[in-house]
Amino acid sequence: MQLEDTICALSTPQGMGAIAVIRLSGPEAFSILEKTFDPFSERHALPSAAAYQNVYGRLKEGAQVLDEVMIAVYKNPHSYTGEDLAEISCHGSVYIQEQILKLLYKLGARPADPGEFTLRAFFNGKMDLSQAEAVADLIASENKAAHHMAMQQMRGGFSAEIRALREELINFASMIELELDFSEEDVEFANREELYDLLNRVKRVLTKLLESFDTGNVLKNGLPVAIVGAPNAGKSTLLNALLNEERAIVTEVAGTTRDAIEDELNLEGVKFRFIDTAGIQETDDLVESIGIKKTFEKIAESKVVLYLFNAQLYAENPALIKAEIQALQEKAEDKTLLVLANKIDLLAEKEIFKDLESEDFLLLSALQKTGLEELKKRLLAQVNLGALYQNNVIVSNARHAHALQESLQDIQRVEEGLNSEVSGDFLAMDIREAFKHLGSIIGEVDTDKDILGNIFGKFCIGK
Amino acid sequence: MSAKYIVPRETCDMLNVDYDVVVVGGGHAGVEAASAAARLGKTTLLVTMNLQTIAQMSCNPAMGGIAKGQILREIDALGGVSALVADKTAIQFRMLNRSKGPAMWSPRVQSDRMRYAEEMRLTLERTPKLDFFQDMVTDLEVEKGKVVGVSTSMGVKIPARKVILTNGTFLNGLIHIGDKQFGGGRSGERASKGITERLVDLGFEAGRMKTGTPPRVDGRSLDYSKMEEQRGDEYPGKFSYSSESTTLIKQRSCYITYTNEQVHEALKEGFDRSPMFNGAIDSTGPRYCPSVEEKINRFAHKNRHQIFVEPEGWETVEVYVNGFSTSLPEEVQARALRLIPGFENAKIFRPGYAIEYDYFPPTQLFHSLETRLVDGLYFAGQINGTTGYEEAACQGLMAGINAARSIDELEAVILDRSEAYIGVLIDDLIQKGTKEPYRMFTSRAEYRIILRQDNADERLTPKGYEIGLIDEGRWKDFQEKQSKTEFLQNWFTNHSIERDEANAVLKRHGLSQVNQKLKIAKLLARPQLGVRSFMHYKPLKDVVDKHNIKAENLEQAEIALKYAGYIGKEKENASKLSRLESLSIPKGLDYSKLASMSLEAREKLGKLKPSNIKEAKAISGVSPADISVLLVYMGR
C-alpha cells in the first residue's frame, strides 16, 4: 500500500449519465490538474482557489478540448481523504469519462484501489476504523434500513455503545484486581454476588449487541425466505404476485420449478430474498428427488419458511397437508414457519374457511392478489425494525460480530471460573483476553490508566 | 589501568584512581548499581553525601510485599544484593496472598532499619574494586554529548567513563511540615543542589513529585493491649535463593489499630495549614499512598482508617506508624495521634512530613536506562519517577549491569515484559512515562501467571550467570535445584498410586473415592489437594529422602503440575505476542502519511526507523493504538 502518490477514479456509477464525477486525491492532485485545466477566468484559476471552492473551465489535452468541467477543490486537510482532493464534474458520456481518466493517468495519477479513498481518510485521522467500515457499508447499502444503519455507525453510535461495554468490563476487572493487588488494604472487597452482577451486566451488553447482528445482517444482506409447497400449490404465482413481475416460470404442469430461484423484494426499506424451491412431496422421479434435496438445503439457508398449499387439496385431505407441515416443523425447527393456504378463491364451502382459520393459516389467493398485505406484514414482523428506528445500536459488521462473540466466550470462561471459585489471577487471564478481543473495535485497555485509575478513584488505598 | 581509556587523566589526587563507573547516591538504587558494576570488574566509586546513611530505609522499615516481593526475588536471581541483606536483617516474614493463585504469593519482611543499612554497607565494603567517597556531587562533566566525570561541592573533579545518577528525593528536596518549609533530602539531611540545573541546561526535561512519610513514635509509650497483633508466618520463608541466608527462628509482631471520627476532627483543625490543601504543594503524589489528610478529605464516608504499628528493629524502641503519612503541623499530628486507641500517651520521635523533589520523566531514557541525550549517563530510582526500595534497587542493578557492559562494548541487558517484573517496570517507564510516583502492581504485568516469586531463579538466574553476577557455586546450586524439581515433576506424572492409598488421602480431605489406581499428578490437579496431602505416602517419602528433595522442589513441582493449564496458556499468549513483534516493517516507510497516529509517534518512528514491531513498540511515546494503525497499514 502506498499513500504518497495521487489516485483517481470515477466516483459515479459506470456507464452513461447526464454527468459523471471523477475524484482525484493526493499531494499532486492540483499540480496534475493545472497541467490540463484552463480556467474561464482568473477567479477560477487553481492556484488561487480557496480551501473550498468550485472552479469552472475546460480540460485540454494539448490544444484539444476534452470537456467543459466544474471542479470542486478541497485543500488538505479540509477534504474527505484529508489530502488535496478535487472532484471533477464532467459530462456523462463513457467516452469523455475514459478520456479524462486516461489523461490523468498520463499526468501522474494512478487508478485508485477499491475503498482507497476511505482508507486514506482513515489513515489521515478523518475517521476511526468502525466509521471507515461504515462508509463502505453506506456505499453498498441498497435500501433504507441498511442505509440508516450505516449512517448510525458512521456517526459513532456503535462506538458509544461499545464504550459503555468497556466501562462495565473495567469495573469488573477492577473488582478482581482490587482483591489481588490490594488484599492487604482495609477496603471492602466485592462479594461473589456483586461480581456475578457485574459479569451479568457485561454479558447482557455483549449478548444484546450480538443479537443485533442477526438484525444487522438481515438489514445489510436481506432476509432469506424459502417458499415451500407441493408442486402446483402456486409458489411461483405467489412469488410473481409479490414481485409483481413474471420471473419464475408458471405453468399448469406440476413440478415445473426445478431450480431454486432467488428474487429480492424491498418491503418498507427492508430487503427480502425469496428462494423459490421445488416441493417436498415423495417422488420416484429422479429429477424431482434431486429438487427435494435442494429444497431442504435452501430451507437450511433461510430464516423464514413459507409453506404454501392448495386449499382445495386441504378440503379433500387435511391429514396429508398436516403431515407435511409437521415434517417441515421437524426439519426446520429454528426457522419461522408461516403456513399459507392458497387458492381460497376456488373454495366453495364456507365450512372449510372456518377450519382453515382455526389452524392459524394465512388465507390467500396468489392469483387474485388477496391476503398479500397480511403476508407482507407478517414478514416484516420477522425483522426487528423497532431497534433500528429507535436508534438502538445494531452490529452489522461480521468482523465486529466475531470479536464480540470471542469476548463473550472469554466472559463465559470467567463465569465458569467464578463458579468453580478459582483465584482472581486466573479469572483475570480471561478478562484480559476479552479486552484483547474487544480491542479491535474499542481500542486497547491501559491497565494503569483504566483499571488502576478506577481502583484509586473508588477505594481508599494506601498505608 | 587500561591504556584504552579515552578520558584524559585529570588529576584527582584526592582519589588517586581512574574510575570506570561513578555512582552518585547511596540509596537502594545506588548500592545495587555500585555493587553490580564493581563485581563485573569495573573500578567503581560510590559518591554519597553521607556515608552513615547508605541504603537508608527512608520510609517504612519493610521490604517486599505484593509485586515488590517478586521484584526482590528477581533481583536475587540476577545476582543483586538487596534480597540477601533483607533476609539477614528481617525481624518478621509473611507470605502475602497465600489464598490466591501462586502468581500472587508475595513475600514481605519487616526489617531492622539500622541493621539493614549496616549490613548493606558491610556487604559493599567486602566488594573489591568498590570505593567510597563522601561529598555532594554538584555538577556533571560532559564533552561532545558524552559524560566524562562529575565534580563535587568541595571542588573535586572525578573523571569517569560512566556516571549513574541515583539521587532519590534529594534533588532540590523541599520538606513540608505544616506551614514550615525547609530544604532537605530526608528528615535531618541536606538537599542536593546543582545537578537538576545542569541537566536542564543539557536539554533534559525536569518535573516535580511529592511523597510523604508518617511520624515515628516511642514504642514504650504505646498500649499494645488495645491493638490487634499481627504475627509473622508460622513457617517463615526468605527472599534469597542462595544458601547464604537462613529463615527466621524468632520474629517480632506488628500491631493494627484504627483512626476514628475524633482523630479525623483533630486532623481537620490543621487543614488550613496543610501544604497539601493551601497550595504550598502542587506536585503530584501517589494516589495509592495518600496522606491521612487526603484519605479523610477524599473518602469522607469512611469513618476509620487502618494503622499498622511496625517495630523499627530487634532492639530499638522506635516504631513506625504506617498509614498515618502526614504533613500537617507537628502539634496537630501529635494531638490527632493521641486519639488513636493505644496511642493515648504516644511520644513522637520525629513528625511526619511531605517532601517535594525533582525527577526526570523517564521517557528520556533508553531501555538500558542510559539517557538518550548524554552518552554514558544512566538514571535509576526515584530520579526516574518511581517510588519504593524494590523499584529503585532493580533499576540500580540494571543500570550498573548495563554501564559495565557498555564499557566492555557488550549489548545492554533488557528484560522482556514476559520475563520479569523488572522488564515491565522499565518498559512502562520508558514507554508511558509517569506523572505520579510509579509503584509496581501485579496488574501492570500482562503475563503475571509466569512472573512468580517461586520461579524467579528459573527465569533469571541463567541470565545472571551469563552476565557474571551469579558465581559458580550458586550456578551449581541452581542447576541442582532445577534437575531435582524436574525429576520430582516426572515422578508425580508417572507414579501410580494404588486405589486404597489414594482413597485414604481423598477421605482425609472429605473427597469422593476413586475405583482404580491413578497417577499422583492427576490427584494434584484437584484444588483441595497439594503435595502436602501426600507427605506420609511412603513411596514419596522414600524419593524425598533418597534424592535429598527440598521444600522448594516440592513447591515448584506442585505449582508446575497444578497450574499447568494456566501456565501453558499464558506462555502461549506471550509467544504469540513475540511472533507479532518480530514482523518486519518495510524500509523507507513514510510515517508522516499516517495521520491517525499521534504526531509524536509519527515523528519518532520516522526518525528512529525501527526495523520490526518490537522495536517500534520500544519507542517512548508510541502507544498501542499507534501500533495498531501501523499493523493495519502493513496489512495485518
Pick the more confident residue, A363 or B365: B365
Residue A165 forms part of a structural domain: yes
What's the pLDDT score for residue B387? 95
Do residues A270 and A363 share a domain?
Answer: yes
- d(CA B146, CA B127) in angstroms, rounded, equals 28
For residue A184, what pLDDT band results from cuts at 50, 70 and 90?
confident
Q: What is the CATH number of the domain that holds A107?
A: 3.30.1360.120
- The proportion of chain B whose per-residue pLDDT surpasses 90, expressed as a percent, equals 73
**Which three-class secondary structure state does DSSP give residue A192?**
helix
Do residues A200 and A311 share a domain?
Answer: no
Residue A151 forms part of a structural domain: no
Q: Does A416 touch chain B (CB under 8 A)?
A: no
Pick the more confident residue, B96 or B10: B96
For residue B84, what pLDDT band results from cuts at 50, 70 and 90?
very high
Residue A87 forms part of a structural domain: yes
pLDDT, mean over chain A? 79
Could you tell me which CATH number the domain at B216-352 has?
2.40.30.260
Question: Where is the domain boundary, A359, A383, A407?
Answer: A383
A461 contacts in chain B (CB < 8 Å): 287-288, 290
The grid cell for B244 is 547464604
* Mean pLDDT of the B457-477 span: 97
- Pairwise CB contact (< 8 Å): A463 & B594: no
What's the pLDDT score for residue A17? 79
What's the pLDDT score for residue A279? 62
Residue A2 forms part of a structural domain: no
Residue A453 forms part of a structural domain: yes
List beta partners, residue B31. none
pTM value is: 0.76
Do residues A196 and A233 share a domain?
Answer: no
Does residue B464 register a pLDDT over 90? yes
* Mean pLDDT of the B434-451 span: 93
Do residues A279 and A320 share a domain?
Answer: yes
* Mean pLDDT of the A211-222 span: 75
In B, minimum Cα distance to A440 occurs at B628
Q: The CATH number of B582-633 is which of 1.10.150.570, 2.60.40.10, 1.10.274.10, 3.40.30.10?
A: 1.10.150.570
Total domains present in chain A: 3
Q: For residue range A41-60, list pLDDT tens digits in order.
A: 888 888 777 888 899 999 99
- Pairwise CB contact (< 8 Å): B566 & A429: yes
Residue A305 forms part of a structural domain: yes
Does residue B124 register a pLDDT over 60? yes
Does residue A145 register a pLDDT over 70? no
Given B96, B104, B444, which is nearest A423 (Cβ)?
A: B104
- Which backbone phi and psi does A123 adopt, to 5 degrees? -65, -30
Do residues A59 and A188 share a domain?
Answer: no
- d(CA B334, CA A52) in angstroms, rounded, equals 71
For residue B475, what pLDDT band results from cuts at 50, 70 and 90?
very high
Residue A342 forms part of a structural domain: yes
Given B428, B442, B628, which is nearest A180 (Cβ)?
A: B442
Q: How far is B434 from chain A (nearest CA, A)?
A: 10
Q: Which residues lie below 8 Å from residue B158, measured CB to CB, with a gap of 6+?
A: B12, B15, B19, B22, B45, B47, B133, B149, B150, B151, B152
For residue A401, what pLDDT band results from cuts at 50, 70 and 90?
confident
Do residues A201 and A229 share a domain?
Answer: no
Q: What is the CATH number of the domain that holds A243?
A: 3.40.50.300
**Which three-class secondary structure state does DSSP give residue B562?**
helix
- d(CA A90, CA B552) in angstroms, rounded, equals 82
- d(CA A448, CA B432) in angstroms, rounded, equals 10
B428 contacts in chain A (CB < 8 Å): 448
Where in chain B are the domains? 216-352, 472-570, 582-633
User: How many angstroms from the chain centroid is the CA of residue A335?
Assistant: 20
Place of cell 479486552: A435
What's the pLDDT score for residue A41? 87
* Mean pLDDT of the B407-418 span: 95
Query: Poorest-confidence range of A67-81, B30-44, B295-309, B581-595?
Result: B581-595
- Pairwise CB contact (< 8 Å): A425 & B442: yes
Do residues A346 and A438 share a domain?
Answer: no
Which runs of E-coded beta strand occur in A164-301? 223-229, 261-267, 270-276
First to last CA, chain A: 54
In A, minimum Cα distance to B300 occurs at A460
- d(CA A264, CA B158) in angstroms, rounded, equals 87
Question: Where is the domain boundary, A383, A402, A417?
Answer: A383
- Pairwise CB contact (< 8 Å): A186 & B306: yes
Do residues A329 and A355 share a domain?
Answer: yes
- Pairwise CB contact (< 8 Å): A3 & B594: yes
Do residues A233 and A286 share a domain?
Answer: yes
B77 conformational bin, left if phi > 0, alpha if psi -120 to 50, beta if neither: alpha
Given B290, B295, B570, which is nearest A429 (Cβ)?
A: B570
The grid cell for B117 is 543499612
Do residues A233 and A340 share a domain?
Answer: yes
Best probe of the A interface among B596, B600, B602, B631, by most A CBs < 10 A, is: B596
What's the pLDDT score for residue B4? 41
Question: Where is the domain boundary, A332, A356, A383?
Answer: A383
Does residue B244 register a pLDDT over 90? yes
Reported CATH class of domain B472-570: mainly alpha
Q: For residue range B543-595, list pLDDT tens digits in order.
A: 999 999 998 899 999 999 989 989 998 898 888 877 878 888 888 888 887 77
Q: For residue range A235-260, list pLDDT tens digits in order.
A: 878 888 877 644 444 444 444 444 44
Q: Which residue range forms the structural domain that includes residue A408?
A: 157-215+394-458
Give burial (CB, 10 Å; 0-12/13-18/19+) of A125: middle
Given A123, A124, A423, which is nearest B101 (Cβ)?
A: A423
- Pairwise CB contact (< 8 Å): B593 & A123: yes
What's the pLDDT score for residue A258? 43
* Mean pLDDT of the A14-36 span: 88
A448 contacts in chain B (CB < 8 Å): 428, 432, 444
Looking at residue B441, its amino acid is: F
- Pairwise CB contact (< 8 Å): B590 & A3: yes
For residue A112, what pLDDT band results from cuts at 50, 70 and 90?
confident
- d(CA A83, CA A89) in angstroms, rounded, equals 19
Q: What is the CATH number of the domain that holds A416?
A: 1.20.120.430
**Which three-class secondary structure state does DSSP give residue A12?**
coil
- The ipTM (two decimal places) reads 0.84
In A, minimum Cα distance to B449 occurs at A425
Residue A133 forms part of a structural domain: no
Pick the more confident residue, B188 or A196: A196
Do residues A38 and A117 share a domain?
Answer: yes
What's the pLDDT score for residue B8? 45
**Which three-class secondary structure state does DSSP give residue B92?**
strand
What's the pLDDT score for residue A185? 83
Q: For residue B237, give Cα distances in angstroms to A169, B66, B212, B311, B630.
A: 37, 15, 30, 20, 47
Pick the more confident residue, B395 or A47: B395
Does residue A306 register a pLDDT over 90? no
Q: Which residues lie below 8 Å from residue B346, measured CB to CB, with a gap of 6+?
A: B217, B218, B221, B222, B334, B337, B338, B340
- Pairwise CB contact (< 8 Å): A456 & B570: no
- Pairwise CB contact (< 8 Å): B305 & A460: yes
Q: For residue range A125-135, list pLDDT tens digits in order.
A: 776 666 666 66
Do residues A246 and A310 share a domain?
Answer: yes
What's the pLDDT score for residue A249? 41
pLDDT, mean over chain B? 91
